[in-house]
């Protein structure tokens, strides 16, 4: 029952990751009356907290291995309180400050849970070897993607069932209940003893090859961060596919989830680096194709969602597994390392919001309104062209990685 519990805890955490960046710009703009530039600035400001907080969480998890249960329950409790506070928030004075405070709570809980879950990979895997760590990563990322699908689609589904406020207040309560259940059901995970390991250092990360994987993770997270932030705008305003954002998000993440076992199996056969080199061109072609779509082209965008989702599945399972394997082979404590890893991924999301949302606002883009051709062209460039260039940079970094042994 270890791996299913890993999936459940991952599902809980996933709701506070990409789905928040999908829903938050529209929720802040439409429900709270906060402009896009302010929302982007808030997301970047929260990352400043993470700059100190994420490595500190990683250090604490490594320092007190006997307190894993306390850390796990604290993360679940923070999410259980934060989700309802966020999505039941009403517009009014100081809405931006209130939003910022709740985001700090949510992302702090998310950080602690993610660092604990990823940093404990060697203890949670059936064996501390490459094959078992890849299997663990497949279960973990399958849970992550299931959580992303659930959280991405739930507001629209709840609104269709009659929930008010575009489904967001009910969404907050729903996610809070999931966090409580996942926190309690996953308790047996945190009683497993942590293996002995040596202290993390910059020299140790470099010697293990983990430092270059951190750089790769940061660069590779940027394209998905940009498209996640702008997905609703691109679907509803650029492609004019009203009401289709929810089903297309489900299709995208379902494709990612279904691809995870295939990428894990391929990695065991040919190695993670070679598998990534097969997946990344699929993402590049998807971004390039999205830039060419005409308004109303639902079938074309559905195909792009399928292809880009499959590419995301490779990113999610292979890169963390490669990082865990590098740390395990070097005998390094992993939680602080994954604290840095977590910060890198969230910084990518924040930079995407901070860079794109103010630029869209300056171009004259307004969500859900009639927009000029130039505003929609700016949205098209940010959603499709910029991620294509960023992914090419990540592809070059993977090419520069040393060839590795197969993980079987």
Rounded Cα distance between 50 and 350, Å, is: 11
- Report yes or no on 230 lying in a domain: yes
Task: Read off the pLDDT of residues 291-337 as tens digits, 9 standing for 90 and up.
Answer: 999 999 999 999 999 999 999 989 888 888 888 777 777 766 667 77
Q: Angle, nearest 10°, between helix axes 335-362 and 373-380? A: 160
- Report yes or no on 194 lying in a domain: yes
**pLDDT value, residue 122:** 67
- Report yes or no on 90 lying in a domain: yes
What's the mean pLDDT in 133-154? 82
CA dihedral 302→304→306→309, nearest 10 degrees, is: -130
Q: Tell me: pLDDT of 347 over 50.
A: yes
**pLDDT value, residue 317:** 83
Q: Tell me: pLDDT of 47 over 80.
A: no
**pLDDT value, residue 301:** 95
Mean predicted lDDT score pLDDT of the chain:
83
Q: Tell me: pLDDT of 22 over 80.
A: no
- Report yes or no on 314 lying in a domain: yes
Residue 255 domain boundaries: 2-400
Q: Tell me: pLDDT of 196 over 60.
A: no
Instruction: Quickly tell me which residue has 């990751």 as its tokens.
Output: 17
- Report yes or no on 406 lying in a domain: no
Here the tokens at position 154 are 């739930």
- Report yes or no on 168 lying in a domain: yes
CA 142 to chain centre: 13
Rounded Cα distance between 51 and 48, Å, is: 5
**pLDDT value, residue 194:** 63
Task: Read off the pLDDT of residues 51-60 as tens digits, 9 standing for 90 and up.
Answer: 778 788 888 8
**pLDDT value, residue 84:** 93
What's the mean pLDDT in 162-175? 85
Tally of domains within the chain:
1
- Write the CATH number for 76: 1.20.1250.20
- Report yes or no on 211 lying in a domain: yes
Rounded Cα distance between 169 and 331, Å, is: 45
- Report yes or no on 405 lying in a domain: no
**pLDDT value, residue 135:** 81
Rounded Cα distance between 90 and 366, Å, is: 21
Task: Read off the pLDDT of residues 78-130 as tens digits, 9 standing for 90 and up.
Answer: 999 999 998 888 888 888 888 889 989 998 998 899 888 887 776 777 666 67
């Amino acid at each position: 029952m270890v791996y299913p519990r890993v999936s459940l805890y991952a599902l809980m955490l996933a709701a506070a990751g990409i789905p928040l960046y999908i829903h938050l710009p529209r929720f802040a703009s439409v429900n709270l009356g906060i402009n896009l530039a302010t929302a982007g600035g808030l997301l970047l400001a929260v990352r400043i907290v993470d700059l100190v907080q994420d490595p500190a969480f990683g250090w604490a998890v490594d320092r007190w291995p006997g307190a894993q249960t306390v850390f796990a329950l604290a993360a679940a409790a923070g999410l259980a309180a934060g989700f309802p506070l966020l999505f039941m928030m009403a517009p009014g004075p100081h809405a931006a400050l209130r939003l910022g405070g709740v985001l700090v709570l949510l992302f702090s809980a998310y950080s602690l849970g993610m660092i604990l879950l990823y940093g404990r990979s060697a203890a949670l895997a059936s064996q501390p070897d490459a094959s078992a760590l890849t299997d663990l990563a497949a279960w973990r990322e399958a849970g992550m993607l299931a959580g992303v699908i659930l959280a991405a689609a739930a507001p629209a589904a709840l609104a269709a069932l009659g929930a008010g406020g575009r489904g967001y207040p009910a969404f907050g309560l729903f996610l809070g209940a999931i966090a409580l259940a996942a926190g309690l059901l996953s308790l047996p995970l945190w009683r497993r003893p942590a293996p002995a390991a040596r202290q993390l250092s910059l020299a140790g990360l470099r010697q293990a090859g983990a430092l270059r994987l951190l750089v790769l993770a940061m660069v590779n997270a940027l394209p998905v961060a940009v498209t996640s932030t702008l997905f609703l705008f691109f679907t509803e305003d650029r492609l004019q596919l009203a009401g289709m954002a929810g089903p297309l998000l489900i299709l995208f993440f379902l494709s990612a989830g279904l691809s995870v076992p295939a990428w894990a199996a391929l990695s065991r056969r040919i190695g993670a680096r070679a598998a990534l080199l097969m997946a990344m061109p699929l993402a590049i072609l998807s971004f390039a194709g999205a830039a060419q779509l005409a308004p109303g082209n639902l079938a074309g965008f559905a195909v792009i969602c399928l292809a880009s989702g499959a590419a995301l599945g490779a990113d999610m399972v292979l890169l963390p597994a490669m990082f865990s394997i590098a740390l395990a082979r070097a005998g390094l404590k992993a939680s602080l390392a994954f604290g840095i890893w977590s910060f890198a991924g969230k910084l990518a999301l924040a930079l995407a919001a901070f860079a794109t949302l103010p630029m869209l606002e300056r171009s004259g883009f307004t969500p859900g309104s009639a927009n000029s051709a130039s505003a929609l062209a700016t949205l098209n460039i940010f959603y499709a062209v910029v991620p294509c260039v960023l992914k090419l940079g990540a592809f070059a970094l993977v090419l520069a990685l040393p060839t590795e042994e197969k993980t079987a």
